[in-house]
Amino acid sequence: MPLCFGTDAVAFKQDCLVEEALPLLEFLQAHPGAPVNLFACTHLHSAVLQVLMALRPSIVALPGEAFLRRWLTPVFGPDAIVVPASPRAAL
Amino acid sequence: MNSPLLDRFVGEARDLVQGAAAALLALERQPGDEASINAVFRSVHTLKGSVGLFDFPAFTKLVHAGEDLLSAVRAGQVTLTPERVDRLLEAFDQVGRWIDEIDAGGALLDGAVGISRDLTMALRAMLPAQADPAGARAANPTADTAAATLTALDWLGGLPEADRLAALAAASNGREILAVEYVPATDCFFSGEDPLTLFRPLSSLCALVIDSTAAWPQSDALDPYQCILRFRIVTAAPRSEIESLFRYVIEQIKIAVITPNQLRAAVTAGSPGAGALPIASPVAAPSAMVIRIIEGQRTLLATARTATDRMDRLASVARIVSNLLTVADREADLTSWSDAMALARRDETGHPVVAWFDRWLESQATTASQTPAETPPSQGGPRPRIETADPEGRPDNRVSANRILKVDQAKVDSLMNLIGELVVSKNSLPFLAKRADEVHGSREMSREIKDVYAVIDRLAQEMQGAIMAIRMLPVSEVFERFPRLVRDVSRKLGKHIALVIEGEDTAADKNIIEVLGDPLLHIIRNAIDHGIEKPEDRAATGKAPEATVRVKAFQDGDQVVIDVSDDGRGIDPEKIKASALAKGIIDADRAARLSDQEAVNLVFYPGFSTAETVSDLSGRGVGMDVVVTTIERAGGTVAVTSRRGQGTTVRLSLPLSMAVTRVMTVEAGGGMLFGIPMDHIAETVRVRRDAVQRIKTSEVFVLRDSVVPLVRLDNLLGIDAPIWFGNGDDEEAVLVVHVGGNLIGLVVDHFREGMDIILKPLNGILAGVRGYIGTALLGDGRVLLVLNLKELF
């Protein structure tokens, strides 16, 4: 399971595929603004990205993976906090 | 519920598909006809553009595939074989059906994607073979994989500055910078696509902007499996790489070449103070004015007479040129200029500088002549360099061309109804004038009313004429379908047929035109199926192998006449008689007495069909009788003439307009008024009571040596006839009418005047009442019932 749902936060791991979009959406609908940690995420399916973009949860860490970090930084804005040292900090 | 935009699209798309099909057929007849190929290509291209506004991916893909094939035909890469025409027509038909579906429900029915895929594959298969058949659609820069051109580039201004600088840096290395917009299909997640991954393998990505095509929905309204993302990139990757990467979604991307100027403009517009960019662009040439000033400086220097003079001038020239080069952002030139200046100062001579001028001016002249388009004189707005025509294909000339207003037919119909009411109401004025005179005794008032009536009458008539003219449509509306029909049917039957259409400008009322379509289709099918022989049979009888079907329309008085003639085998009266006998339509006795023309007319009998085998084209048992019924319902007539071995002509005559019906009014049932359509009436006679004979229970009378049955209208309508006590000298008013080819005498109480009426069919709960065609309002407010004699007898 690439998505780790905590009580009120969610962490992404490895490749997040299209199946994750719906659970993520439901979680974020239940917990508006829940912190999301993307650090360990190596790929984000567009559908998952779309959910994140539409619901705008607080991103506590951008992905460590180079491509995603490079191009998701402008997407989630400069105020997205990058926590490179401790990927589990938010949980 | 359809949006107004969608409604307009439906109307426009119908026209486009029709135009494309017509042009395609014209093109097939005259291969290589530039005008036709352009017409069909333009129609399909425009259609693709307009459907792109809506979310019908299946529709768009199919149209796109059609356009690709047409574009290959236009480019001369493939020839237009009948098979290709078949495929294209098939696609047009499907598009037509989809337009109907969109019109009806605002969406395509289920299965559209599958249909689209099959047809698209069939069309793509018609494209010239690729070197690598497995990846026929892959990495191939020909027309079928070229992406559309991106025009909206204003988002470039919103790019982060670092990204734009990266792009500029790539541009300064002489690479072409492309802007790509990728809007994935909304259902792309279902087909396993992940748009974001497509960008990963890209060799150069200067900027990537991800946003949504519309405003983000509320969190509870978001459908996570419906893609609403939009990706925009700026890349230095070559176009072929992009097109190969996006080959499966090529119709969803748009590409534009952007010049460094656009990026630079975006940079300066986006962040003031960033104007002094560290990167010199090789493409941005100095403006003509800069060149002129530098030329002037050279002249100034070259014309100096003394050495002191030269050195004075050199100082000012140096300042001017270095300032100019700084302003024009020409760093490299500035360096070489300072080098030349340093040399000139050291040697106290102007030569190095003059030489620099010559070199510089020469290089400017060559760049200018090599790439005139690349060096716009000024840094204009951020307009993209558009490579092909306007991708939306919306020709602007529509505005300047003949202005045509597209109006819903229902609106015209309601206007006509109103005018009809006006005509009727105006007819009450003479009654009013009469009352003014007779009841109120004011002759003057009566005359004034009559004057006013004359004016209103004239205006009403003009209005009626005008509305009729609006409703007049050329018969070409119907004829347009025939080339296609003839082509399909003749291909199916292996017959060679040329269709000649004459008089397609002949106009008739819209209702008439609408009535004409199916009967004509049936007649033409009949002619091709039964009338025209196979090429070998034609050759045997010494006819040209190519048969001709001629459809000719013309106006004859107040009738529009349409002749459909063929040069086929004609109708064999003997065969008709035999067939009619076998089917029990006539008996042997009558068959023997029939003239050839009468025998031919037997084809109008219900259930008559002579084809030995039921083909899938015609001869489904519904024969000419359907044609006759339809045409007669519209007040027209059908006649067939045929000469054996030479062909058949079917003539349809219809009134130009059905709006106004001429009726004769009669009185029956003790003062009730009835209208009888004028075209039924043969004559009016008065018959003496004692001239009426009885044959069993029927009454007859003799009219010019022929026996005519006599029917009392009162009896027909179920009204008790008044008991007659008079003597034999009394006369009956008899209206002699044609009904179904027979003459019948209709006894009425009194004849009244004939009049033009606007017939209103019976509707609502009266719709089922038989015996009446409809009603009309009379000027004095009474309702006139118009009889349908066919139903009464």
Q: What CATH number has the domain bearing residue B686?
A: 2.40.50.180
**Tens of pLDDT along B376-425?**
444 444 444 434 444 444 444 444 456 777 788 788 888 888 887 787 77
B224 closest CB neighbour out of A25, A44, A74 = A25
The yes-or-no verdict on residue B610 having pLDDT over 60 is no
**Tens of pLDDT along B557-598?**
778 899 998 888 888 888 888 877 887 777 888 778 888 888
The yes-or-no verdict on residue B138 having pLDDT over 80 is no
Higher pLDDT: B284 or B147? It is: B147
**Tens of pLDDT along B322-341?**
777 776 667 777 777 777 77
Which of B225-239, B385-399, B400-414, B504-518 has the least mean pLDDT?
B385-399
- Chosen from B163, B197, B210 to mutate, greatest number of chain A CBs within 10 A: B210
What is the C-alpha to C-alpha distance for residues B150 and B196, in angstroms, rounded to an integer? 20
* pLDDT in the model for residue B482: 84
Higher pLDDT: B625 or B39? It is: B39
A50 closest CB neighbour out of B160, B209, B227 = B227
In sequence order, the β-bridge partners of residue B772 are B787
Among chain B residues, the shortest Cα distance to A27 is held by B219
Q: Is A32 on the interface with B (CB under 8 A)?
A: yes
B200 closest CB neighbour out of A50, A67, A75 = A67
Any idea what the CATH number is for the domain that residue B169 is in?
A: 3.30.70
Same domain, B610 and B480: yes
> Is B379 a member of any domain?
no
Cross-chain Cβ contact B210/A24 below 8 Å: no
Q: Which residues between 35 and 74 in chain A have a beta carbon less than 8 angstroms from any beta carbon of chain B?
A: 43-47, 49-51, 53-55, 67, 71, 74
Q: Is A22 on the interface with B (CB under 8 A)?
A: yes
> Is B383 a member of any domain?
no
- Name the residue range of residue B95's domain: 4-144
Same domain, B207 and B331: no
What is the C-alpha to C-alpha distance for residues B176 and B260, in angstroms, rounded to an integer? 9
What is the greatest pairwise CA distance in chain A? 31
Mean pLDDT, residues B743-752: 88
What is the C-alpha to C-alpha distance for residues B268 and B287, in angstroms, rounded to an integer? 18
Same domain, B127 and B28: yes
The proportion of chain B whose per-residue pLDDT surpasses 90, expressed as a percent, equals 1
The yes-or-no verdict on residue B22 having pLDDT over 70 is yes
* pLDDT in the model for residue B726: 66
Any idea what the CATH number is for the domain that residue B611 is in?
A: 3.30.565.10
* pLDDT in the model for residue B485: 82
What is the C-alpha to C-alpha distance for residues B779 and B191, in angstroms, rounded to an integer? 69
Q: Is B200 on the interface with A (CB under 8 A)?
A: yes
In sequence order, the β-bridge partners of residue B437 are none
> Is B387 a member of any domain?
no
What was the ipTM of the complex prediction? 0.83
Same domain, B123 and B175: no
Same domain, B232 and B332: no
> Is B785 a member of any domain?
yes
Confidence of residue B252 (pLDDT cuts 50, 70, 90): confident
Any idea what the CATH number is for the domain that residue B122 is in?
A: 1.20.120.160
**Tens of pLDDT along B660-674?**
677 888 988 878 889
Same domain, B124 and B156: no
B189 closest CB neighbour out of A18, A24, A29 = A18
Q: Which of B442, B472, B502 is the last residue of a domain?
A: B472
Among chain B residues, the shortest Cα distance to A48 is held by B224
Nearest Cα neighbor of B704 from B682, B680, B678 is B682
Q: Is B445 on the interface with A (CB under 8 A)?
A: no
Q: Is B248 on the interface with A (CB under 8 A)?
A: no
Same domain, B140 and B153: no
* pLDDT in the model for residue A70: 80
Mean pLDDT, residues A46-51: 84
Same domain, B130 and B160: no
B224 contacts in A (CB within 8 Å)? 21-22, 24-25, 47, 50-51
CA distance A31 to chain B (A): 11
Same domain, B107 and B78: yes
> Is B393 a member of any domain?
no
Phi-psi sector, B237: left (phi>0), alpha (psi -120 to 50), beta? beta
Torsion, Cα B593 B596 B597 B602, to 10 degrees, reads 70
CA distance B213 to chain A (A): 11
Q: Where are the domains of chain A?
A: 3-76
**Tens of pLDDT along B528-548?**
887 888 888 888 888 888 888
Mean pLDDT, residues B633-638: 80
> Is B283 a member of any domain?
no
Cross-chain Cβ contact A22/B200 below 8 Å: no
**Long-range contacts (CB closer than 8 Å, 24 or more residues apart) made by B336-344:** B341/B314, B344/B314
What is the C-alpha to C-alpha distance for residues A39 and B192, in angstroms, rounded to an integer? 25
Q: Is A25 on the interface with B (CB under 8 A)?
A: yes
Which of B339-343, B370-374, B643-647 has the least mean pLDDT?
B370-374
Q: Which of B626, B655, B684 is the last residue of a domain?
A: B655
| Cβ-contact B754, B693 below 8 angstroms | no
Confidence of residue A86 (pLDDT cuts 50, 70, 90): very low
Among chain A residues, the shortest Cα distance to B208 is held by A71
The yes-or-no verdict on residue B499 having pLDDT over 80 is yes
B196 contacts in A (CB within 8 Å)? 44-46, 49
Confidence of residue B282 (pLDDT cuts 50, 70, 90): very low
| Cβ-contact B752, B671 below 8 angstroms | no
Q: Is B2 exposed, middle or buried (0-12, 13-18, 19+ CB in 10 A)?
A: middle
R_g over Cα of chain B: 40
> Is B80 a member of any domain?
yes
Among chain A residues, the shortest Cα distance to B195 is held by A46
Q: Which residues contact B6 (CB under 8 A, 6 or more apart)?
A: B54, B102, B106
A74 contacts in B (CB within 8 Å)? 160, 208-209
> Is B400 a member of any domain?
no
A2 contacts in B (CB within 8 Å)? none
Confidence of residue B736 (pLDDT cuts 50, 70, 90): very high
Q: For chain B, what is the domain count?
A: 6
* pLDDT in the model for residue B576: 80
Nearest Cα neighbor of B449 from B433, B438, B473 is B433
**Tens of pLDDT along B477-494?**
888 888 888 888 888 888
